[in-house]
Structure 1
């Protein structure tokens, strides 16, 4: 029996002490069980010394959430209740198999249901998040998410423990939330509302604060698109009030950014700028702790993009242009939709400063960014809004006519 060098190396890489690792693992356990974990310094010492080579399932899930890799990569053997390893080809074909049918079943019901199934279902959520990052919302993503929610709830009915059952409710909430988001991104807001109503119920049954945060975050976004700005503020405040938000600066930052947008849409300048300041302060305190994949999009680039929205709403186009430039400079290429949206907002800020030619050239870059994929409804809506703004500011101009022709030619 020797020291676990793999775990020690990961701790060094992440810059965490034994005490900090215990705290993060307990937080992770609370997120997926609804109850604070009982990982102690002694637990960590046993893991590092090699005394514990096959941790219990709960500990395995917590380790994988904190470090973002399998327990095998951390030098451990999986728990004895784990299902046989999933074939890599089967894993890669997840999306293909799911989107082919709304009734597709991509997680077989095993004889023993437990932590391994939780991990497999969460892996499916990660695949959907990656697909959304690349293409944006579309009907195949919606169907895959609904199939995932259905499969999860079917597993929940197979006599699982209370703890695992709550986890399944949380995962079903996340899948339903993905379906809602796909509809929101496509511009099908009424359908998105129906899915979100269901999401809130499932998240409440799960006792999973992260799932509840995700639901309120989406409700705030949907309310903004529906022009229900008081509701958007209330939803962001609900997200802000959750216990997990008070503990996690990253979530606190996102909730404050949503509040800032809501306040700006209500023309409450001071409240909007104050919330932006709080969002920046909280983000500066955020660490690299493991979190659900859906929030991977949020960081400095997204906060700058949301800042540009607030500044534009408050009549500060020069500041909005600067924020949009900064956002685009650091937004990863894989977030194509985010880059496209920031580009439209940059174009709008340029237009509001009187440079229609530059603004139209900037907006035209969206078609190159999204080349090879249908343009999601939310981006098309932003482009139409930009087109109307060009018409209002340069009526009868050649620039406006050429832009309108280009927009029509790139309908998809």
Structure 2
């Protein structure tokens, strides 16, 4: 039996190890009300071809993780005929079920099988935090995919199930609420990045409630700061500034200059919508001053890594000046952001490159702008709706302001991208 090279390739594309895929499938199974029994060995059996047709529940979970039919992952029933298999779960129905499953998981977990409630400890919290690290890394690579939103929501349900299932100290309970809030905030950000704004607002209200119960002002900062970004992307600067002000007034922003720096930079990006160049410059000045006061060796949550090296601060400055039409300043910040952002932050680097092309086009540097935009790999151009929208806007501006030969070159490259294997039709 030959191995499943298709699944192996999909895992490599998504940056998933055997352990990470097992955890992602188990998270989906638990969110759907089942026991998560997939192990490294299970995944190895899939890869070697020892298991050609996983159990129906595992097939449905694989479809949710990879967002495609299981037959596109190299699996086939024995004999090559699927007529005898049970009818597959409708993916839309399953996604809705997973999205609403946290309450169901909590309810089923609340009644222990043998009466005695197990003890929940710091080890359980550490395991959840390890899964949170995977979610953050996946977001950096792939952006706002629905599968990331679904996995994060399922893991929030897992954290709340532990609350209901066992006894724990007050400190551990607070940490579990913080884990649930962290996962829900990642689901919120994935929805923002994917332009699923209604879902993002639902995640926001849930995340804010969980974070308040955790007492962790760092995760509260992340959630309210994300809310400011949500309203910025919805073109509601008044609500965005108000939400970001909540983040900036939290104790962690007063205590740690790096949090303060991020708060000021996100404020500047929102202010870009108002056209107030003076306020943008002032907010970015505060961001730089706070960044220079921050201790680079102090421990911060892993989601702050893009801020620690100033790459995200420069990215937000690029966004602010681009909205103001200050293209030369926007380009300068774009170059600095690309120099600072870690290579693993693929989504951010792609988005910055697309915005950099816009800034260059705004200055009339058509050849340079087209070259920058065309440097984005075909698969990266469709990472998230934000990237695709930025490139579509670039194309519209190019058609209005540039000679025809550059328009033809750009449109020809876009056509080739969409027709390439894996491209979006």
**Shorter-chain-normalised TM-score: which range?**
0.7 to 0.9
Aligned to 1:94: 23
Aligned to 2:252: 244
In structure 2, stretches of 5+ residues that fail to align are 1-16, 39-108, 110-116, 419-423
Pick aligned residue for 1:197 from 205, 223, 231: 205
Q: Deviations over 1:16-75 (max 9, x none)?
A: xxxxxxxxxxxxxxxxxxxxxxxxxxxxxxxxxxxxxxxxxxxxxxxxxxxxxxxxxxxx
Residue correspondence of structure 1 range 316-327 to structure 2 within 5 A:
316-327=326-337
More displaced stretch, 249-258 vs 396-405:
396-405
Aligned to 1:333: 343
Matched residue SS, 1:370: helix
Q: Is the 8 A contact 2:29 2:36 kept in 1?
A: no
Aligned to 1:58: none
Partners of 2:233 and 2:408 in 1: how far apart?
28
Pick aligned residue for 2:265 from 257, 267, 287: 257
- Asked if residue 142 in structure 1 is aligned to residue 149 in structure 2, the reply is yes
Partners of 1:165 and 1:106 in 2: how far apart?
23
Q: Deviations over 1:147-194 (max 9, x none)?
A: 101011011113323332222111111111111111111121221111
Q: Is the 8 A contact 2:31 2:158 kept in 1?
A: no
Matched residue SS, 1:290: coil
- Asked if residue 295 in structure 1 is aligned to residue 304 in structure 2, the reply is yes
Partners of 1:159 and 1:384 in 2: how far apart?
53
- Asked if residue 366 in structure 1 is aligned to residue 295 in structure 2, the reply is no
Aligned to 1:133: 140
- RMSD between aligned residues: 2.4
Per-residue deviation at 1:105?
5.9
Evaluate the alpha carbon distance shift between residue 379 and residue 401 of structure 1 in structure 2; reply closer, same or farther with a 3 A threshold: same
Residue correspondence of structure 1 range 262-273 to structure 2 within 5 A:
262-273=270-281
Partners of 2:417 and 2:350 in 1: how far apart?
14
Partners of 2:267 and 2:318 in 1: how far apart?
14
Q: Is the 8 A contact 2:26 2:37 kept in 1?
A: no
Q: Is the 8 A contact 2:27 2:158 kept in 1?
A: no
- Asked if residue 382 in structure 1 is aligned to residue 404 in structure 2, the reply is no
Q: Is the 8 A contact 1:107 1:151 kept in 2?
A: no
- Asked if residue 176 in structure 1 is aligned to residue 105 in structure 2, the reply is no
Partners of 2:414 and 2:378 in 1: how far apart?
13
In structure 1, stretches of 5+ residues that fail to align are 1-87
Residue correspondence of structure 1 range 110-121 to structure 2 within 5 A:
111-121=118-128
Per-residue deviation at 1:402?
3.0
Partners of 1:192 and 1:364 in 2: how far apart?
31
Per-residue deviation at 1:140?
1.7
Residue correspondence of structure 1 range 13-24 to structure 2 within 5 A:
none
Partners of 2:399 and 2:140 in 1: how far apart?
32
Aligned to 2:223: 215
Partners of 2:121 and 2:266 in 1: how far apart?
36
Per-residue deviation at 1:101?
7.4
Q: Is the 8 A contact 1:95 1:128 kept in 2?
A: no
Q: Is the 8 A contact 1:169 1:202 kept in 2?
A: yes
Partners of 1:277 and 1:205 in 2: how far apart?
34
Q: Is the 8 A contact 2:31 2:157 kept in 1?
A: no
Pick aligned residue for 1:345 from 349, 355, 358: 355
Matched residue SS, 1:95: helix
Matched residue SS, 1:291: coil
Aligned to 1:280: 288
Aligned to 1:63: none
Evaluate the alpha carbon distance shift between residue 369 and residue 278 of structure 1 in structure 2; reply closer, same or farther with a 3 A threshold: farther
Evaluate the alpha carbon distance shift between residue 218 and residue 247 of structure 1 in structure 2; reply closer, same or farther with a 3 A threshold: same
Partners of 2:239 and 2:227 in 1: how far apart?
8
TM-score (norm 2): 0.71
Residue correspondence of structure 1 range 22-33 to structure 2 within 5 A:
none
Matched residue SS, 1:366: coil
Aligned to 1:309: 319
Q: Deviations over 1:81-114 (max 9, x none)?
A: xxxxxxx975674235435774366699993201
Per-residue deviation at 1:333?
1.0
Partners of 1:302 and 1:98 in 2: how far apart?
30
